[in-house]
Structure 1
Amino acid sequence: MTIVNVNVGLLGHVDSGKTSLAKALSSIKSTACFDKHPQSQERGITIDLGFSSFSLGLVESFCEQGIEGDVQVTLVDCPGHASLIRKIIGGAQIIDFMLLVIDVNKGIQTQTAECLVIAELLNKNLLIVLNKIDLLSDEKRVPMIEKVEKKIRSGLKGTRYHLAPMVAISANPKNADSPEGIVELIDALKKMITVPKRELEKPMVLAVDHCFSIKGKGTILTGTVIQGRLSVNSTVEIPHLKISKKVKSIQMFKKDVPTASAGDRVGVGVTHFDSKLLETGVASEPGYFGMTYAVIVDVRKVMYFKFKISSGSKYHISVGHDTVIGKVTLFKAIGNERLDEFSLDKHYEYVEELVSPAQDGDQLESTMALLELEQEIPTVEGDLFIASKLDVDINKPCCRIAFHGHILKRTVDKNYADTFLPKLSIYKWKEKEGLIDRVVNNREIIVTSLFKKETQMHPFLNLRVRLTTGENGVIKSTFGAGGKVKVELDTDLNEETKQRFTKKTRQNDSAPKEIVKVQLKFKKYLYNSNKTVKQ
């Protein structure tokens, strides 16, 4: 009988009861199930991804698409503690459906909101689980649940989850023999869950969440096949370590299998590999990933992020299970170019600050960024990234997820500052302002204060200028050694300009000649080593 695996994430604020719910739902424990990390037992919270599974049996919507086998749910228990959001982001990218667990006595909390943001930007369907209803008195239970549901609906207004179904449960009741509401939860899950999209023809990628040794069996990589197919005797590469290993066994929930496909939760035995070298990461078909030092990305600001996002600032950049520091340089396409049309042959305008969607949707649609990473990570073009400010005080009630998007271009060259950046045509608009120092004739003026004495003048010759009285001209040459230039006008000076200049001069020869200003606007390219300027 065909078994279809669906990965369901359990997300929510710390101590909302996610792990208790996983235990209540699960009938099969995997090798990485239920907080194997010793600190999890001591602190009573999940500090790593936990995995377990149970069967939904036949699901009507699957049968309607010709899939008449059992639907197996693999639960991905994501840590709820604020300092462990890296694990949440890594886990969220391997799941197909989300259960958002909320303590009915506390409602939406800080990490609840961040989990909602992650779910929304990953475009995942969501079922909301109101847990711990056993702590409500019998007479207050129904009205309290209704009150909380109403408040949550209000908080979700404006998101894609404003109509998300809610189920009230008690996963680990203190005064009952068994969990309450689990049957209703499973029924709701069966109605909502859909056949996941699997990319079987792409190169194999395994998201590794644990790595350990078993005496007599060697090293085991446990994780989820993100795309493609994996088989015994094939070779996988671990790009973080730049090594390749042969697959000698594959298990799916303690059963040996010859192959695994996208969506499957597996344990992979590899030969001659020290498990201490890898904690989390990826394994893939050899040569698929490149260790990346900088990327060009499209940018989507998270509406709940309340801090300024500006060029030159640094963020935690998460791609898969990797999170590294990256410096941001924002820029935008000119005209109506699409976000996914980045090209080294095109020119882009530097952006100082990212605007919010509510302020200027048009600018946001064309905003991209260069992310310079402090550590190399494996990527491919098209990968999702999430940028966060994880150094914000975790006790503050604010969203730390700043922006997200996809990798449009990457560089795997460690010396990218010398080889890749000079190819980027990103410019800033610059403005200079000078004064008419002398009128030579009706078509020629001498301008002062436009440049400093030490300025290299060659790049500015033949650039156009504009007088505040309306005339236009071209910088033709330098004049003397003090930074003055000679400007040739397109037309004769108008009478107003000549009168204003000569009147001031007649009244007081020593007075500053500030009557008419000369303005120069030009593009300065950020990464151009020869200091070329254009208009």
Structure 2
Amino acid sequence: MMMLVVDVNKGIQTQTAECLVIGEIMCDILVVALNKIDQIPEDQRAQTIEKVTRGLAKTFATTKFGQVAVIPVAARPATGPAIGVENLIQVLAKSVPRQRHDSAAPFVFAVDHCFAIKGQGTVLTGTALSGQIQVNENIEIPTAKLSRKIKSIQMFHRPVQQITAGDRAGICVTQFDASTLERGYACAAGAVIFAHALIARVDKVRFFKLPVLSKSRFHVSMGHETVMGTASFFTRDGEGNARFEVDKEYAFAEELGRPPQENASNSGQPPAPLATFALIELDHPVACLSNALLIGSRLDLDPDVHTKACRLAFSGRVHEALTDKSYRETFLPKLKVFKRKSRTGTVERVRAPRVLVLPMGVFPHSQFAVLMPVLFCATTQTQILDDYTLIGKGLFKKETTLEPFLGLQVGLSSGEVGEIEGAFGQSGKFRVRMRQAVSDATKATLAASDKPKGKGKAPAPEAEAIEIVLSFKRYVYDRQKRMIQSKDE
């Protein structure tokens, strides 16, 4: 649940809108406190509150919250007691959802303040996010790389022996310098890790108007920390609720929220839902929880240019935290994020007829003479046509080594399919072995393009060339830059 405070005199401001976006990301229930109503003259107060409330209702109707309770208040009037605060407390109490917490999960405590008490120790105040812990158990402070025994626990100034997820408490430990921690985590051993990079399932914030491009820099907020990071996006076809799996293939996305070209629908139907992930490479390691929420922002936007622009670009949940400092060498080569590549050439001709030279001899017979091949005798020529081999050009330069391309599938613009068989000469031309005999239509097209022009005749219309297309995938993080072809290439 979230309480949003709105100034009745100013309405929704840029910062208010960003708070509303954060609320949509983090929770499902919203209560609005319409503050500073004491600054409106009493004879105009009711009318002004009604007008502002109607405007807010229209704004909230476009969000996930729908109908929202708007409570007029004056927290600190210039004169007299607070107005509407008791009513606000009652609405908040009724709106708080009942949550079920997993007490068996590792204990994690979000620390928002830390201070020393002379003769007692250091107190960490905050909220238990998961699990449970008791007095005399050890608690880890990850940023300080320390483990300390819990001396005592208090909730609302009352000592308790144990706290569980959802509890607000103060935890007292000894032999810990309060100045080394202001905000952060305290937890069971190993419950919080430090990530150099993250893989998260992300969605674009619909109010962010600028393109969210791969390889761009963002402020990444997670827990109490905000750190700069570089984001690269990739998608998985037709699985909008999918989790990240390292052995699956993903299509590289140049822009978040815009599907790769291969996902575009030509049938007029909406494209299949996509699961979009981000690889976020952080400038320095950050504390990370399992399934942690993160928000990517552009806090560097020029306020003079983007006066009312939302700066929150995307949000998501962490699916994989990369704790190895050498993740670029150890993990990224396993990540099958591909870009589609293609090369285009043209068919020069069906391979010229092969000449088979056979030694022939004449053998006498009682009735007639027999002409048969022999090992040594005068020769004649017999032509054998090859309808399965094409000569192509324009796909490679003459200095290109064809060995990596041998056996790769190519398609003709006529719809026929073959494989690259080898080089033809030394000028960059190559042989293609077709899966089926070259069609008569293809032969006719090639014959028309090779037909010489007669003198004094009007030039014949130029025949359309038959293209040879080599399509393949290349994994973005593959250091060997291999060409990958699947059955659909």
* TM-score interval (norm. to shorter): 0.7 to 0.9
For the pair 1:210 / 2:113, whether they are aligned, the reply is yes
2:391 aligned residue: 446
8 Å Cα contact 1:355/1:364 also seen in 2: no
**Residue 464, structure 1, aligned to residue 409, structure 2:** yes
Letter in 2 for 1:524: R
State the distance in 2 between where 1:157 and 1:504 align.
65
In 2, the alpha carbon distance for the partners of 1:407 and 1:430 equals 30
Residues 246-325 of structure 1 correspond to what in structure 2 (within 5 A)? 246-325=149-228
Q: Report the CA distance shift for 1:267/1:394 in structure 2 as closer, same or farther (over 3 A).
A: farther
- Rounded to whole Å, the distance in 1 between the matches of 2:309 and 2:337 is 33
The structure-2 alpha-carbon separation of the partners of 1:487 and 1:119, relative to structure 1 and needing over 3 Å to count, comes to same
Cα pair distance change 1:497/1:356, threshold 3 Å: closer
Give distance in 1, aligned partners of 2:326 and 2:114: 32
For residue 403 of structure 1, what is the aligned residue in structure 2? 314
1:519 alignment partner in structure 2: 469
Q: Aligned to 1:534, what secondary structure does the other structure show? A: coil
Question: CA–CA distance in 2 between the matches of 1:129 and 1:341?
Answer: 38
Give the 5 Å matches for 1:98-137: 98-137=2-41
Structure 1 counterpart of 2:251: 349
1:228 aligns with 2:131: yes
Is the Cα–Cα contact under 8 Å of residues 203 and 257 in structure 2 kept in the other structure? no
Q: Is the 8 A contact 2:36 2:75 kept in 1?
A: yes
CA shift for structure 1 position 495: 3.6
Deviation at 1:254, TM superposition (A): 3.4
Q: Aligned Cα RMSD in Å?
A: 2.5
Is residue 334 of structure 2 the alignment partner of residue 423 of structure 1?
Answer: yes
Gaps spanning 5+ residues in structure 2: where? 353-386, 455-461
Partner Cα distance (1:221, 1:317) in 2: 25
Q: Conserved in 1, the CA contact under 8 Å of 2:106 and 2:132?
A: yes
Q: Partner amino acid for 1:345?
A: D
**Alpha-carbon separation, structure 2, partners of 1:455 and 1:259:** 71
Q: CA deviation at 1:314?
A: 2.0
State the one-letter code of the partner of 1:100. L
Aligned equivalents of 1:298, 1:365: Cα separation in 2 = 11
What is the CA–CA distance in structure 2 between the aligned matches of 1:146 and 1:263, rounded to whole Å?
36
**Distance in 2 between the 1:481 and 1:210 partners?**
74
Residues 251 and 454 (structure 1 numbering): CA distance in 2 closer, same or farther, change over 3 Å? farther
Question: What is aligned with 2:449?
Answer: 504
- Using the TM superposition, give the Cα deviation of residue 488 of structure 1 relative to its aligned residue in structure 2, in angstroms: 1.0
Deviation, 1:529, is 2.5
Pair 1:167-2:65 in alignment: no
Aligned length: 434
Tell me: CA distance 1:456–1:298, structure 2 relative to 1, closer, same or farther (3 Å). farther
Aligned: 1:484 with 2:429: yes
**In the alignment, structure 1 residue 531 sits paired with structure 2 residue 481:** yes
Q: How many Å separate the matches in 1 of 2:36 and 2:452?
A: 87
SS at match of 2:251: strand
**CA separation in 1, counterparts of 2:398 and 2:128?**
63
Q: Which amino acid aligns with 1:342?
A: F
What residue is the counterpart of 1:3 in the other structure? none
| Closer/same/farther in 2, CA of residues 368 and 429 from structure 1, 3 Å limit | same
Aligned-partner SS, 2:46:
helix
Distance 2:296 2:179 in 1: 28
How far has the Cα of 1:508 moved from its partner? 7.2
CA deviations 1:181-231 (Å, max 9, x no partner) are: 112222322332333333322111011122233333333322111111122
Tell me what 2:359 maps to: none
Secondary structure at the aligned position of 2:143 is classed as: coil
Structure 1 unaligned regions, length at least 5: 1-96
Assess if the C-alpha contact under 8 Å between 1:331 and 1:351 holds in 2. yes
Q: State the alpha-carbon separation in 2 of the partners of residues 265 and 210 from structure 1.
A: 12
Structure possessing the higher radius of gyration over alpha carbons: 2
2-structure distance, mates of 1:318, 1:412: 18
Task: Specify the alignment match of 1:390 in structure 2.
Answer: 299
Which amino acid in 2 is paired with 1:253? F
Return the alpha-carbon distance in structure 2 between the equivalents of residues 456 and 131 of structure 1: 73
Q: Distance in 1 between matches of 2:164 and 2:148?
A: 19
Q: Is contact 1:206–1:223 with CA below 8 Å preserved after alignment?
A: yes
Counterpart Cα distance in 2 of 1:316 and 1:170: 35
State the partner residue of 2:148.
245
Partner SS state of residue 372, structure 1: strand
Q: Following TM superposition, by how much is the alpha carbon of 1:438 offset from its aligned partner in structure 2, in angstroms?
A: 4.2
- What is the one-letter code of the residue matched to 2:337? I
**Contact in 2 for aligned 1:355/1:363 (Cα 8 Å):** no
Any idea what SS the aligned residue of 2:61 has? coil
Normalised to the residue count of structure 1, the TM-score between the two structures is 0.75
Paired amino acid for 1:311: S
- Pick from 378, 383, 388 the counterpart of residue 287 of structure 2: 378
